[in-house]
C-alpha cells in the first residue's frame, strides 16, 4: 500500500508532464514491467449526463456528472481512492470536484440515497496513531455507488473521454524525455486506468438536455 501511495504522489507532483505522456495500452506492457499489487476492481458506469444548477441569484452553472458502481471481488478488502479526469475534444482537462448541490440533485432525481462523492467514498480518516483501514469491503453485497462531477468549462464539445484511476493496485514506471536541452529525462509513474469514450452529437451543448453516446472503453496505462 505504501508503494502505491508513493506512486500517486509522484503522478500528482508531475502534473502536466503526465498528461502529455503517451497513453500505453495494457497489452503492450510485459508482465515483468508491472509493479504494485495485482488486483482490479469491477467498475460499471452510467452514461454521463449534463445538469444545470441555478443559484439564489439566478446564475446558471452547468456540470457533467457520471454515476457508477464499484465492486470488490478480489478476495479481500481494498483501499479505493477514486480519481477521475474529463478530457474534451477541445483540449480541456477537468478534474472531478466536490459539488454537494449537484450530488444532492442527482440523488433526488434517481432516488440514490447511498450515492457518494469521491470524498465521501474515502470514508472517515484514521484516528491519530491508527492505520487507515481499506474503505471497500469484499463481495457483491458491499458494492458502492459513487459519482464524479466536472464543471462544464467548455460549452462546445463534440466528444470527451473520462479517465478513472484507483481501480487497480498496478502501475508501471515510464521514462519521459526532457523538453529542455541538457536536462535528464524524468521517470513518471503510470497507473492502470479505465478510459471511457463518449460522443456528443450536435453543434453545441448549451441546451439543458444533451444526448451522449458511449463509444467504448478500455484499460490502459496513464
Report the distance separating Cα 67 and Cα 79, nearest Å.
19
Q: Residue 60: what pLDDT? A: 92
Give pTM, 2 decimals. 0.82
Q: Would you give the DSSP letter of residue 78?
A: B
Q: What is the DSSP string of 96-163?
A: ----HHHHHHHHHHHT-TT-B-HHHHH-SPPPTTSPPPPSB-SSGGG-EEEEEEEE---S--SEEEEE
Q: Residue 202: what pLDDT? A: 72
Q: Would you give the DSSP letter of residue 77?
A: -
End-to-end CA distance of the chain: 19
- How many CB atoms are closer than 10 A to CB 55? 9
- 95-153 pLDDT per residue, tens: 999 999 999 999 999 999 999 999 999 988 777 778 888 999 999 999 999 999 999 98
For residue 53, pLDDT over 50 is answered with: yes
Report the distance separating Cα 51 and Cα 32, nearest Å.
44
Report the distance separating Cα 40 and Cα 33, nearest Å.
17
26-35, 76-85, 169-178, 206-215: least confident range: 26-35
- For residues 147 and 99, is the Cβ–Cβ distance under 8 A? no
- How many CB atoms are closer than 10 A to CB 103? 19
Amino acid at each position: 500500500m505504501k508503494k502505491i501511495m508513493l506512486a500517486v504522489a509522484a503522478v500528482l507532483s508531475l502534473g502536466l508532464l503526465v498528461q502529455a505522456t503517451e497513453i500505453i495500452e495494457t497489452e503492450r506492457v510485459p508482465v515483468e514491467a508491472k509493479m504494485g499489487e495485482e488486483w482490479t476492481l469491477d467498475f460499471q458506469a452510467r452514461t454521463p449526463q449534463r445538469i444545470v444548477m441555478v443559484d439564489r441569484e439566478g446564475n446558471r452553472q452547468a456540470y457533467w456528472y457520471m454515476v457508477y458502481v464499484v465492486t470488490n471481488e478480489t478476495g479481500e478488502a481494498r483501499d479505493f481512492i477514486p480519481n477521475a479526469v474529463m478530457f474534451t475534444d477541445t483540449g480541456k482537462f477537468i478534474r472531478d470536484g466536490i459539488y454537494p448541490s449537484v450530488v444532492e440533485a442527482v440523488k433526488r432525481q434517481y432516488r440514490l440515497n447511498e450515492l457518494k462523492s469521491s470524498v465521501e467514498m474515502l470514508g472517515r480518516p484514521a484516528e491519530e496513531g491508527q492505520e487507515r483501514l481499506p474503505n471497500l469491503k469484499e463481495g457483491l453485497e458491499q458494492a458502492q455507488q459513487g459519482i464524479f462531477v466536472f464543471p462544464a468549462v467548455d460549452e462546445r464539445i463534440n466528444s470527451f473521454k473520462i479517465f478513472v484511476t484507483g481501480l487497480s493496485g498496478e502501475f508501471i514506471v515510464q521514462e519521459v524525455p526532457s523538453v529542455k536541452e541538457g536536462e535528464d529525462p524524468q521517470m513518471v509513474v503510470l497507473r492502470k486506468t479505465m478510459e471511457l469514450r463518449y460522443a456528443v452529437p450536435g453543434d453545441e451543448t448549451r441546451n439543458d438536455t444533451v444526448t451522449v453516446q458511449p463509444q467504448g472503453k478500455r484499460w490502459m496505462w496513464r
